[in-house]
Amino acid sequence: MSLKYESTVREPLINGDKTFHQVTEDIIRPIETRPGKLWYVGLTLSLCLLAFGIFSVSWQVYYGVGVWGENKTVGWAWDITNFVWWVGIGHAGTLISAILLLFRQGWRTGVNRAAEAMTIFAVLCAGQFPVWHVGRIWDVFFIFPYPNSRGPVWPNFVSPLMWDVFAVSTYLTVSLLFWYSGLLPDLASVRDRARTKIRKWAYGIASFGWTGTVKNWQRHEALSLVLAGLATPLVLSVHSVVSMDFATSVIPGWHTTIFPPYFVAGAIFSGFAMVQTLLILTRRILHLEDYITLGHIEAMNKIIMLTGSIVGIAYMTELFDAWYSGNFGEGGAFWWRIFGPYWWAYVMQITCNVVSPQVFWFKKLRRNVPFTFIMAIVVNIGMWMERFVIIVLSLYHDWLPSSWSYYTPRWPEIGFFLGTFGLFFTGYFLFAKYFPVIALAEIKALLKTSGESYKDKMEPIEEESTAQFIQQAAHAHEGG
Amino acid sequence: MAIKNFVIGCFQDEPQIFEAVKKVRLSGFKLHDVYTPYPVHGLDKAMGLRGTSLHTAGFVYGLLGTLTAVGGMGFCTAISWQLNIGGKPHFPLAAFIPITFELTVLFASVGMTMTFCWLNQIMPGVKKHIFHHRQTDDLFVVAIELTSHTSAVEVSQFFQSLGAIEISEQRAEEGWWYGNFARQEPYQEAGLTQQAVTP
Amino acid sequence: MNQKKYWRGLEELQDSPERKKNAEDEFREPLPFDEPQSLLETPTPRRDFLKYLGFSITAATVAAGCEIQVRKAIPYLVKPEEITPGVPNYYASTYCQDGDYCPILIKTIDGRPIKVEGNNLSSLTAGGTSARVQASVLSLYDTARIRYPMINGEETTWATLDKMVLQGLGDLGTGSIVILTSSIISPSIQQAISDFIVKYPQARQVTYDAVSYSGLLMANKECYGKQAIPAYHFDQARCIVGLDCDFLGTWLSPVEFARQYAVNRKIRQDNPRMSQHFQFESNMSLTGANADYRYVHKPSQSSAIALALYNAVANLKGKPTLAGEPLTDSRLTAGIQKTAKALGAQEGHALVVSGSNNPHVQVIVNGLNEMLGSGGRTLDWSSPLNYRQGIDQDMEQVLDDMAADRVGALLVYQVNPAYDYYRSDAFRVNMGRVKLSISFNERQDETTVLCKYAAPDSHYLESWGDSSPRQGYFSLQQPGIAPLFKTRQFLESLLVWSGAAQTDPLPYIQDYWKKNIYPHYNNIYPQLGNADWQTWWDQSLQNGVVEPKVTPAAVAAHFSGNMAGAAAGLSPAAAQGSLEIVFYENVAMGSGKWANNPWLQEMPDPITKCTWDNYVCISPALSDQIGATITRFNEVYHHRPVARLTIGGKDILLPVLVLPGLHPEVMAVALGYGRSNSTGMVAGDVGKNIFPFISYNAQNQAREYYSTGVKIVKTAETYPLGITQTHNSYEGRPIIRETTLHDFSLDPSALKREELAEESRYGKDYSADATLYPQIYESPGIRWGMSIDLNSCIGCSACTIACIAENNVSVVGKKEVVRAHEMQWLRIDRYFDGDPENPQVVFQPMLCQQCSNAPCENVCPVAATTHSDEGLNQMIYNRCIGTRYCENNCPYKVRRFNWRDWNGADSFADNLYLEDKANVMMNEDLTRMVLNPEVTVRSRGVMEKCTFCVQRLQDAKLVAKKAGRPLIDGEAVTACQQACPTQAIAFGNINDKASEVYRIRTQDQHFRSYYVLDLLHTLPSIDYLAKIRNKDPEDFFSEPPQHVL
């Protein structure tokens, strides 16, 4: 059982004087009231983007991948860049819920729900690219190992693309379970305070008939703990597997053993940047400043700075290896990456990912919301450039100079990318309207220890002598 | 499953509920269950419930996943139809690791979640009796089942003594059934819900 | 007697006349059978039947290959005896177009020629071909061919045409008849022309070559008294000097010369010897690219260079030198000295050839060869070459006559002066003055549209014929298919008009051969002895070529050249600093005859690697001056600046292509582009026509292919060039291995030492020990392997076209080439290294390496590309879903993705890619008849690549199997190997210890043999033989590896 004491030195995770009921009110209000104009504007915009994306993809499916800018040398470009980018973004959620849960980071509760939702939508977007980038979408079912009359012919389990299929789908499933199992009690709360019949009925179904008995809670705790334990290696594995698409190849700039950790760090980096972007908007639009506090934002900025630096070290290592290996292909690839016609892409990558996060050494900037918001965008751009650099800038000048080439995107692949933004935000807006964006039950569990108003109650305890305190603690234990 | 009579006491704070649970167990009333808006650590022990074995189930599922992956891939590449792909052997174990890992995790988590729902008897469309609409909001609800030799009044008084802020007697279906939360159940009309007086 | 009458149906009872008629002939429509009389008048003659048949079978093949609904094939009603559906027949024949000559085999499947291959029996070409020969099969199905005789562009019948023509010829009066032909090497056509002239005494034949060899012919007339071209023996020459002479690419008979040239360029590592090749030239030619020493000069200096070389040699030999303008350029003089020394050292084994059209230069060159004792050795007058016969002055004369109304009738055969004569405008005007003008050309080209009558000649694959490329050497031409259209052979037309009794070409030719050739050659077939005519003829027809039993010994001719006079007549060099431009033929287009052939248009030029255009090549130095510099930043962009050129007062806009190896003051533009739209869908508006800029030197009576005092200004606009290779250097990477003859002969193993040292670190067997996975896949039977000799590969690109023809490789059109979507399975990488002013060039044919540890196979998620136990990297098209991962992971970048629906083999309706005229043309029903039914036509969205022509390998294996014996080395031949004029490609079963490939790798050439990028442990099945340059080590440039950070 948790100790009912937390030092006043720690800053509160929930601001203002809140009771349990107040918390419920605050968090469920958006679901019960009509959303503001901003919400409608946002949703419409997202739907338009989504529609354009669908148009672009249909165009490409009908006329062939040739409508994209890819060519004989650069066989992958925006498609896989976007895939890796979205998957990377999809990492923060599970990371926050799983790893921070294992580390008993109280502050995660404020943000994990939204982050997990974001994860799910991001992974959904990511999934679109490997599916639609193929030449013959109507035959894409060939990748599934189903018994067939062709021999039977099985897929090639040695192919990293095959690993991707399993990794990404597993990741999506597990994140979904994790997210929804956490939602059950909160949906129950929505149900029980619902006034309209329709809402009672809908949330009744959605909450699976959760009542919150002690036994339920016991199992719930166990489940989330184990899921967290599983999701932690999973979240690390997913981007490792994605990185193996490149690491296991023979292309200079791709064939690199440091890719797995390098990619994971990058994923967390971009993931947190995206969480920042979304939460800064959410807390503002849904008036949840008390629950998503400056403390949260600062904590995430710290992580951004850390992972940004890790990524920076990875870049340096790459360059060092390119030189130290003495391999003409490797050296050439990086020489052309920096000094070739695509130099600007590399410059953007370095400035956005390595240089800019260093400003977070300053507490003032870490706690500056607008600045953080801008930084989050910058970091996301930088991470997109990183993937672009890795994919296109490795291919365009590879082993045989005779095939060296260049790549410029065309509207259908740009449209595809915008379309996934549409998908992502449509999902997120609907989530923000119909689901509690903050983990209600978990916040309540924290309220009495980390809530601002309750911090004051700690003062008498602070004055107590150790003996008294122990006696009290022991007394509290008699329950067990 | 049957419709029974209960008396519930609603408490406002965590320490009270520990107290209450302890007292109920001593007093010999038939404790039906306790409902809390969030996981209260230690309450299960206080109620003397045994720990869950969900973890073990998870492990078994995981193992199943591992075997499925290795077995399945091995069958396809080494037994069913051998191909020379890039000069690699027909059973390249190293190349199987990623998928094996993924399937292990997948099986474990999906299996566990299903078991969780099964044990808790929860799934879409399931309905259970809600003793108090604020039990998922801010009240800690203790439900005591009335037996032949316990009367509603004494239980109410008992709760009163513990400092329950709200006490009531209810007829309730103790199990689960498919139903619509938006509708009143017939037994609820039949049994009148009376508010015990608090002096 | 029962008189009862039974009637079926009322109409029988009434017995209407129609019913009677119907009852008589059971088929309402006349059957598409061959009626002996009036073939062409029948509504659907046999040729149409064959055509439908051919098409429908292609269609069926296409359908069968891909996921579109199967269209029905029409089976034979009466199966021709020699045709088995699906089994190819080969007919020996001859490719012969305006003097270009190549003995070939026509591969026909189901009565449809689908491929042209070289004829190994010819001692001249030994089975070699050129890109144009390979592509000629597509021109058979050219949609722009004239399909019937025409009068003023209106369709007519041959009968009417003949009537009109004969009438016209009848009432010409005084007007002369001019038969304007390209160089004709067919004895029987020559005979027919003389017959015609006998009938019409006022007729005369004028030979006109689009690109003139007049200077050479006149010089030889002066020096040797013969207006002819001697046979050259490059195979006898140990020192070859070329002066502006592209004898490997375009000059006279490249296929033949390339074969000879390769003889002394191939190297034996046990006793390394090779010829030394010096080249002086203005533009970078294929020949120059292969030279050991190459010197660049301005075209106006060519006279001075010939003279300087003559004098230098004369000095060495103590012969009198000639007075004349001295050479100022120090670099050149040094080169001259070096060359002279080398020539002098090889007296009797030297050969100097010049491509100049200036008779005086040619006289000097002849004198030079005399001094070096080439006559009777490398220069052979025993049996001169007939390839070119045109004298420029004659054509001038014709124009004057036309202007003066002295020409009553003009018969145009295989020539197109309205396009390719430098005074085409004048020609066009004067055509109006000619009463009777007849064109025999196969298309509505610039000249034909001006002619009153079009009497279209049949395609050579539809025709009977013969040719004599060289005195005493003959070859026969037999059709591979009946004429597709109502066309008629030139020969037949002539016979008809000269009122011959027998107008069928075949009997006429037989008759001619019986009289003139059979008597002298009746004993050439040992197995036949003194054969009787019929057996001899059949044998000859089967062989395709008829050659002297014993090769005539080379003889010299009496030399009587007036050297001093020639020296005096040399044209002076233009002033320093003034820009000059040279007009050249490129390997694909030549004089533009092939402009409507998409295969050739899309063939990357061996030197510039550019397709679908002509452009002005300028040196890097000049590009800096005009502000069109190519840097590593902009080389990747296909949009190149456009420049305005002012040549002889006339302006022309051309895209700029920066080409190392050009003289800083020289520009070069290719001839043969800018055809009129009427010549064909594709030919129209591709590039610009340069012929009008050619000048005529009255003093030399010869056309000049360069111009001085040229101005070039870069304009603001840009133009996309379909360049397939934008980076020129191989960055010193070990993908190319080269050394000098000197170093190689000192220690052949030096080439391999580093590699062996590296590999030894992994244990005994590198291929097995240097990998995580042991090599577990044995090839019990056959294991295919290929070996490519970089020394004998001259980069002519015949293999590229052969591969396209054999494997149904799609044409994508310029727009897509610009986007780097070209589909060619076999490309030839061309690298420059060394001095950008005058670099070393190396050609490397690059095709799927069939790696044993193929990176592409590992990454395919659906196992669409796997390895066969014969070591082939197979591509399973209908399993492929098109992730393009294999393409990315191929270190050689030889995989090609079907970005769009190039050829209608797609699951979607009407999304066929038709943005380019080329795509439209290639998808015409007629054009699709060229598709090889043995190879799937790939659908959109799948990956494809070279498979070592697996269908040919299967055929060969089946033949061996039927014969119940193991495969014999050399039996399985890939298309590229077959096409190669220099036999640079060896292919075979490396499990067979006797096979050529095995011997090359393990014994004969194992020091030169290396694998590209073997550091990746891909274990390729193709090895390359290091390039050896016959250069002094100090002149040899070996590039240090670059860009290792």
Cβ–Cβ contact A161 with B under 8 A: no
At C377 the three-state DSSP class reads coil
> SS3 breakdown of chain C: % helix, strand, coil, rounded to 5?
30, 20, 50
**CB within 8 Å of chain A, chain B residues 60-99:** 62, 72-73, 76-77, 80-81, 83, 85-86, 88, 92, 95-96, 98-99
Angstrom distance (rounded) from CA C769 to CA A419: 50
CB A425 within 8 A of CB A51: no
Q: Please write the tens of the pLDDT for every residue from C400-409.
A: 999 988 888 9
Same domain for B110 and B154: no
Residue A332 with chain C: CB contacts under 8 Å = 731, 733, 1042-1044
User: B106, A177: Cβ pair inside 8 Å?
Assistant: no
**CB within 8 Å of chain C, chain A residues 213-242:** none
Q: What is the mean pLDDT of residues C924-942?
A: 91
End-of-domain residue from the set B120, B136, B171: B120
CA distance B27 to chain A (A): 15
CA distance B111 to chain C (A): 28
Torsion angle of C-alpha atoms C541, C547, C550, C556, degrees rounded to 10: 170
Write the residue in A20, A154, A174 that is nearest to B37 by C-beta: A20
User: C1045, A400: Cβ pair inside 8 Å?
Assistant: no
Same domain for B116 and B70: yes
Sign of CA dihedral C814, C815, C820, C824: negative
How confident is residue C880, by pLDDT bands cut at 50, 70 and 90?
very high
Q: Tokens for A471?
A: 């006696």
Write the residue in B47, B99, B110 that is nearest to A214 by C-beta: B47
CA-based nearest residue to A175, from A93, A236, A264: A93
pLDDT at A477: 47
CB A408 within 8 A of CB A69: yes
B104-113, C62-71, C903-912, C1010-1019: which range is least confident on average? C62-71
Q: Tokens for C1008?
A: 């030169």
How confident is residue C821, by pLDDT bands cut at 50, 70 and 90?
very high
Is residue B135 included in any domain, yes or no? no
pLDDT at B192: 47
Q: Please write the tens of the pLDDT for every residue from C449-489.
A: 999 999 999 999 999 999 999 998 999 999 988 899 999 99
Q: Select from C725, C889, C939 the residue whose CB has the most chain A CBs within 10 Å, as the one to mutate to test that interface.
A: C889
Q: Select from C858, C859, C862, C873 the residue whose CB has the most chain B CBs within 10 Å, as the one to mutate to test that interface.
A: C858
Instruction: Give me the sheet containing B30-35, strands edge to edge.
Output: B30-35, B140-145, B3-11, B166-173, B194-195
pLDDT at A452: 65
End-to-end, the C-alpha distance of chain A in Å comes to 9
Size of interface A-C (CB pairs under 8 A): 208
Write the residue in B128, B138, B176 that is nearest to A24 by C-beta: B138
Please, which chains are in contact with C (at least 3 CB pairs closer than 8 A)? A, B
pLDDT at A463 over 80: no
Angstrom distance (rounded) from CA C537 to CA C528: 11
Bridge partners (DSSP) listed for residue C467: C475
pLDDT at B153 over 60: yes
CA distances from C168 to B28, C270, C435, C436, C755 (A): 133, 70, 8, 6, 77
- Phi/psi for A27 (5° steps) reads -80, -30
Q: What is the mean pLDDT of residues C699-711?
A: 90
Angstrom distance (rounded) from CA A328 to CA A337: 14
- The model's pTM: 0.88
Question: What chain C residue is nearest to B92 in terms of C-alpha separation?
Answer: C773
How is residue B78 annotated by DSSP? I
CB B23 within 8 A of CB B188: no
Is residue B59 included in any domain, yes or no? yes
Size of interface A-B (CB pairs under 8 A): 223
Q: Please write the tens of the pLDDT for every residue from A304-355.
A: 999 999 999 999 999 999 889 888 889 989 999 999 999 999 999 999 999 9
Angstrom distance (rounded) from CA C306 to CA C318: 18
Angstrom distance (rounded) from CA C130 to CA C245: 18
Q: Tokens for A86?
A: 């979205």
pLDDT at C73: 62
CA-based nearest residue to A32, from A474, A434, A465: A434
Please, which chains are in contact with A (at least 3 CB pairs closer than 8 A)? B, C
Superfamily of domain A20-457: Formate dehydrogenase/DMSO reductase domain (1.20.1630.10)
One-letter amino acid at A385 equals: M
At A53 the three-state DSSP class reads helix
CA-based nearest residue to C469, from C207, C212, C121, C187: C187
How confident is residue B18, by pLDDT bands cut at 50, 70 and 90?
confident
More confident residue, A439 or C54: A439
User: C854, B88: Cβ pair inside 8 Å?
Assistant: no
Q: Please write the tens of the pLDDT for every residue from B78-93.
A: 998 888 998 888 898 8
How confident is residue A67, by pLDDT bands cut at 50, 70 and 90?
very high
Is residue B136 included in any domain, yes or no? no
Residue A167 with chain B: CB contacts under 8 Å = 98, 102
Q: What value of ipTM does the predicted structure carry?
A: 0.87
Cβ–Cβ contact A331 with C under 8 A: yes
pLDDT at C153: 87
One-letter amino acid at B147 equals: T
More confident residue, A28 or C457: C457
Same domain for B114 and B67: yes
CB C129 within 8 A of CB C117: yes
CA distances from C685 to B40, C642, C679 (A): 84, 16, 10
More confident residue, C74 or A343: A343
**CB within 8 Å of chain C, chain A residues 119-178:** 130, 133-140, 142-143, 153-156, 158-162, 165
pLDDT at B194: 47
- Write out the DSSP string of C908-952: SSS-B--SSHHHHHHTSHHHHTTS-TTSPPPPTT-EE---S-HHH
Q: What is the mean pLDDT of residues C507-516?
A: 92
Residue C891 with chain A: CB contacts under 8 Å = 250-251, 398-400
pLDDT at C339 over 50: yes
Is residue B40 included in any domain, yes or no? no
Q: Please write the tens of the pLDDT for every residue from C649-690.
A: 899 999 999 999 899 999 999 999 999 988 888 988 799 999
Question: What chain C residue is nearest to B91 in terms of C-alpha separation?
Answer: C773
Place of tokens 């070279």: C946
pLDDT at C886: 94
At C716 the three-state DSSP class reads strand
Same domain for B191 and B152: yes
Q: Please write the tens of the pLDDT for every residue from C267-309.
A: 988 888 999 999 999 999 999 999 999 999 999 889 999 999 9
Question: What chain B residue is nearest to C773 in terms of C-alpha separation?
Answer: B88
User: A227, B99: Cβ pair inside 8 Å?
Assistant: no
Residue C1020 with chain B: CB contacts under 8 Å = none
Domain carrying residue B186: 3-32+145-195
Q: Please write the tens of the pLDDT for every residue from C210-236.
A: 999 999 999 999 899 889 999 999 999
Q: What is the mean pLDDT of residues A453-475?
A: 65
Angstrom distance (rounded) from CA C632 to CA C638: 13
Return the HEC string of A209-229.
Answer: CCCCEHHHHHHHHHHHHHHHH
pLDDT at C562: 85
Average pLDDT, chain A: 86
Return the HEC string of A366-397.
Answer: HCCHHHHHHHHHHHHHHHHHHHHHHHHHHHCC
User: B33, A214: Cβ pair inside 8 Å?
Assistant: yes
Cβ–Cβ contact B81 with C under 8 A: no
Angstrom distance (rounded) from CA B52 to CA C536: 101
Range ranked top by mean pLDDT from A15-19, C74-78, C655-659, C744-748: C655-659
Angstrom distance (rounded) from CA B105 to CA B98: 11
CA distances from C745 to C52, C293, C361, C739 (A): 60, 19, 37, 10
Residue C820 with chain A: CB contacts under 8 Å = 71-73, 405
Q: CB pairs under 8 A, 24+ apart, for C59-63?
A: C59/C928, C61/C931, C61/C933, C61/C937, C62/C903, C62/C904, C62/C905, C62/C928, C62/C931, C62/C937
At C204 the three-state DSSP class reads strand
Q: Which residues lie closer than 8 Å to C765 by C-beta, 6 or more apart? A: none
pLDDT at C319 over 80: yes
Same domain for B153 and B108: no
Task: Count CB neighbours of B12 within 10 A.
Answer: 16
Cβ–Cβ contact B114 with A under 8 A: no
Cβ–Cβ contact B199 with C under 8 A: no
Average pLDDT, chain C: 88
- Phi/psi for B197 (5° steps) reads -75, 140
Q: Please write the tens of the pLDDT for every residue from C578-597.
A: 899 999 999 999 898 889 99
Write the residue in A65, A245, A405 that is nearest to C882 by C-beta: A65
Write the residue in C730, C733, C884 that is nearest to A76 by C-beta: C884
> SS3 breakdown of chain A: % helix, strand, coil, rounded to 5?
75, 0, 25
Q: Please write the tens of the pLDDT for every residue from A388-426.
A: 999 999 999 999 999 999 999 999 999 999 999 999 999
Q: Tokens for A199?
A: 């809402």
Residue B38 with chain A: CB contacts under 8 Å = 185, 217, 440-442, 444-445
Q: Would you call C660 exposed, middle or buried from its count of C-beta atoms within 10 A (0-12, 13-18, 19+)?
A: buried
Is residue B133 included in any domain, yes or no? no
CA distances from A147 to A162, B80, B106, C600, C676 (A): 17, 10, 21, 47, 59
pLDDT at C37 over 60: no
Number of domains making up chain B: 2
Q: Which residues lie closer than 8 Å to C38 by C-beta, 6 or more apart? A: none
pLDDT at C39: 47
Q: Select from C825, C856, C862 the residue whose CB has the most chain A CBs within 10 Å, as the one to mutate to test that interface.
A: C862
Q: What percent of chain A has pLDDT over 70?
A: 90
Cβ–Cβ contact C862 with B under 8 A: no
* A152 upstream amide cis, omega within 30 of 0: yes
Q: Would you call A281 exposed, middle or buried from its count of C-beta atoms within 10 A (0-12, 13-18, 19+)?
A: middle
pLDDT at C68 over 70: no
Question: What chain C residue is nearest to B93 in terms of C-alpha separation?
Answer: C773
Cβ–Cβ contact C775 with B under 8 A: yes
Residue A396 with chain C: CB contacts under 8 Å = 636
Instruction: Give me the sheet containing C112-118, strands edge to edge.
Output: C89-97, C100-109, C112-118
pLDDT at B29: 86
Write the residue in A209, A237, A441 that is nearest to B122 by C-beta: A209
Q: Select from B83, B88, B96, B99 the residue whose CB has the most chain C CBs within 10 Å, as the one to mutate to test that interface.
A: B88
Cβ–Cβ contact A411 with C under 8 A: no
Q: Please write the tens of the pLDDT for every residue from C147-198.
A: 999 999 889 999 999 999 999 888 887 788 999 999 999 999 999 999 999 9
